[in-house]
Amino acid sequence: MRLGYVGLGNIGGPMAARLAAAGPTTVFDISADAVAAAVEAGASRADSLADLAAASDLVSICVRDDAQVRDVVADLLPHLSSGALIAVHSTIAPETAVEQAALTATSGVTLLDAPISGGAPGAQQGRLAIMIGGDREAYQRAKAALAPAGDMIVHAGDRPGDGTRMKLARNLLHFVSFTATAEAARLAEAAGIDVAKLGKVVRHTDAITGGAGAIMLRDTTAAIDPDDFWYGVFTHVRSLGEKDLTLALDLADHLGVDLPLGRRALTDLAAGLGVPHSSEGAR
């Protein structure tokens, strides 16, 4: 499959380079330096989006925002062959993916929303997670073509926008975790603990346990039946979590540190795990 790539930034550049090393890839970007780096990696240069479209069976788009995605699709669409694919790697609104998929379908072109996770290091290493929403058969074609850039490519769902919906849920966890990290750092600092050393411990143990994703083991968020295997597992997690959260909050009270996420976690942990306390419902 002939590939095209539009948007050669910190993620798009190394991603396009890996694709170019594996097969014919044409690139376009307003940065001459970014294009030159991709060409050095084996890509071909397009002088316009029209030229790129004419040379591509699948075009990857990795630009800044929804407006740029719309502009790029509008310029590509008249020059793509019927049956071509567009994979939008930018994180956009799900509604934009739905809107653009409907637009391209009128020309026989399938648009997949295919946001990525893993950042620049993942792109450089070919270890991106690519979450694809849209037609299953088109997903299979895109998966094979994009494999050099991502070692986890998943079909998020049959609807345009499903890839983006998955990415938004993933990044919710990411940035809420960052906010919780700031709370933990404040507590450690107030207690006279070296924050940098704490960071080393966190990275070490998360690499072993899997971090927050380690509890994402079920296919539903519903309450767990007491006869279910996972009931015992998550009840144990609940007990440990509530004990440690209570101790951390007691320390915070002693030091005068405000931990709003920590307090919310203690309140919501049991129900969130699917094992609410029977005497309280959702604790």
197 flagged as catalytic: no
Alpha helices, DSSP H only, in 117-259?
Answer: 119-125, 136-146, 162-190, 195-209, 229-255
Question: CA 267, CA 55: separation in Å to the nearest integer?
Answer: 56
Q: What angle do CA 169, 161, 81 make, to 5 degrees?
A: 145
**Dist CA 198 CA 219 (whole Å):** 33
| Measured distance CA(80)–CA(107) in Å, rounded | 9
Q: Tell me how far apart the alpha carbons of residues 45 and 12 are, in angstroms, rounded to a whole number.
A: 15
Angle between helices 260-273 and 229-255 (to 10 degrees): 170
- Which of 143, 167, 200, 243 is catalytic? The answer is 167
Please identify every residue annotated as catalytic. Answer: 167
